[in-house]
Amino acid sequence: MAYHQCTVHPEKVEEVARGMQAPQTLDRMSAFLKVVADPTRLRIVNALLMGELCVCDLAALLGMEHSAVSHQLAVLRKNAVVSVRQAGKVKYYSLSDDHINTVFNVTLTHVNE
């Protein structure tokens, strides 16, 4: 089997290396993407794009048990994807910031191309 001779371009490698993100940053990005890549959590994010909802509303909307939705919301909250606001005994969930909306919409645009 013949192997292609590869010529390294040190200047280009150096230039790209300077512009790359730190491994720790890429690890955090990977962890975030894994969290939102789960189909159930992505459905929750999709619903919350319309505005804040309580667990009962999300459970009804997604056809899921209250406890299952609560578990997924806990994962999203731990990873700063959603925020919670309490009004009396009811907790309302919303997306933590506009970046989540941007990630969702950019991904949607990409898969629809």
Top CATH class of 10-111 equals mainly alpha
Q: What is the pLDDT of residues 31-87, one digit of tens each?
A: 999 999 999 999 999 999 999 999 999 999 999 999 999 999 999 999 999 999 999
As given in the structure block, the two tokens for residue 39 are 């189909």
Amino acid in position 77: R
Average pLDDT of span 97-110 = 94
Mention every residue, 6+ apart, whose C-beta is less than 8 A from residue 75: 35, 38, 41
- Residue 4 has what pLDDT? 76
Domain extents in the chain? 10-111
